[in-house]
Amino acid sequence: MSSSVSIATDPRSARSTDQWWRTAVIYQVYPRSFADGNGDGTGDLAGVRSRLPYLKALGVDAIWFTPWYISPLADGGYDVADYRAIDPAFGTLAEAEALIAEAADLGIRTIVDIVPNHVSDQHEWFRAALAAAPGSPERQRFWFRPGRGERGELPPTDWVSPFSGGTWTRTTDPDGRPGEWYLHLFAPQQPDLNWNHPDVRREHEDVLRFWFDRGVAGIRIDSATMPVKDATFPELVHSHGPGEHPYVDRDGLHDIYRSWRAVADSYAEPRVLVGEIWLADQHRFARYLRRDEMHTAFNFDFMMRPWEIAGLRESIQSTLDAHGLVDAPPTWVLSNHDVTRPATRYGRQDSSFGFAARRFGTPTDLVLGRRRARAAALMSAALPGSLYVYQGDELGLPEVEDLPDEARQDPMYFRSDGQDPGRDGCRVPLPWTALGPSFGFGEGGRAWLPQPQWWGRYAVDAQAGDPDSMLTLYRVAIRLRRTEPALRGETFAWVDGLPDHVLAFRRGEQFVCLVNFGDAVPLPPHDTVLLASGELDGTRVPTDTAVWLRV
């Protein structure tokens, strides 16, 4: 086997221990669906605290919590009404502080979500804005504009929301007459903030300090490319020059994140900034990861690619190249709370992911999907950088696609008039036990989203003692990431000279990950098979199988 080096060890970087985030395994907790501690059907902080030993056994370095703040839940908590208070459905601020401390005692750090693009329509600022007159100081924190047309009956622009539908909602004046319109790139219950206003900047920096002071190790920045708007509100065109889109990836964002980085770096143990950055342009993407901005950002390109060797290799290489420009660690993620689960997605004829293509009735082969999801887990876990695991993927949970319509809660479903199934199917509460009320999710016997009857076969207690289970695969892979010297470093090289349907790369001098996308192939020369995603056929690697080798 010959190899071509893509990333070599950085001579500047004998990485200090406080840069834990460069190689961390980070577990995403969606609090409503993780574990229910009080039996009311909704996951909560008491439930998470009770399951910290599970996360310790899994081997994760940090937990990322999606929003746990007070929220009307118009968009799963991403409509925040108060950043300094925990939603009563989840618990109290004191419980959050206890959870952060208890996790830290187990060696697990905490990351929380901040949503700079918008707040809830129940936030005190927006309630004050609605009560105030047009042009008032209260309205300057948002984007209020008169409508077009003779009587202002048309929205200021024809922008289309990622949630389907328009991006403007008209207000009603105190006298009952139609008033101004306000901007919401997402749901109407999520009014966009005006980041030209000093109050908005000051408030968010204060919120960062509020959570950092309570021991939070980092923040994940939701919709990080969208807060800054072109205040002239032009109509969208088919293509834009770099930085010229009216509300995506505008250059003014970088001043915001430099100020946030200054806050993060002001702590004795510097805090970490993680961006949700959906950008196809890798050079524009890398600008957010310069040394005075974010530490890491989610790698959505890799997550959205189909199970196909050329595209995945291209995505891995372009990711490494882009991050290498700014000496930032890549991140690898197969799904999250917005995305069809891998065990379902990889079993489809089109195994890529795209919001626009998601529809009811898409056929899937779960046996095939599970086999590929296992291989994808090993492939991503072997790559240099940090690894994100969305809760339940370590159990191989499939998407729940037959939820009753009356149970669905995602605005994507409602705003598409039921065309888009939405994201509820990847948010169904976890099964902890094969039997019992709500499969061990809580003692109340019900869950906020209905669990299918077959959910128990994926339960933690059904997999924990099974050497061939998905849970065991994840536990062993994460343990090897800690113990194999090559996987603790940042070296990477492609392995050449193999069949075209085989993807292989080397980490250090003695570790190789091989992924077979086609007909069975013989194992290359090696000393030890460390781990395989499926049963090997003697000395041959079957299709859709990944294997870790010590060579």
The residues that are catalytic are 222, 276
The single residue listed with the structure tokens 């004998």 is 14
Within 10 Å of residue 496's Cβ, how many Cβ atoms?
10
Residue type, 351: S
Separation CA 127–CA 143 (nearest Å): 14
Task: Tell me how far apart the alpha carbons of residues 225 and 276 are, in angstroms, rounded to a whole number.
Answer: 8
Cα–Cα distance, 59 to 477 (Å, whole number): 9
Query: In terms of Cα–Cα distance, which of 343, 437, 436 is closest to 392?
Result: 343
d(CA 334, CA 336): 7
- Using alpha carbons, select from 92, 88, 91, 109 the residue that is nearest to residue 100: 109
Find out whether 253 and 224 touch, Cβ atoms under 8 Å: yes
Q: Which residue has the tokens 């030993």?
A: 53
Strand order in the sheet with 492-496: 2-7, 492-496, 502-507, 511-516, 545-550, 528-532
Going by the DSSP 8-state scheme, the letter that residue 204 receives in this structure is H
Place of tokens 């009811």: 360
Confirm if 113 and 65 have CB atoms less than 8 A apart: yes
The number of CA neighbours under 13 Å toward the Cβ of 17 is: 0
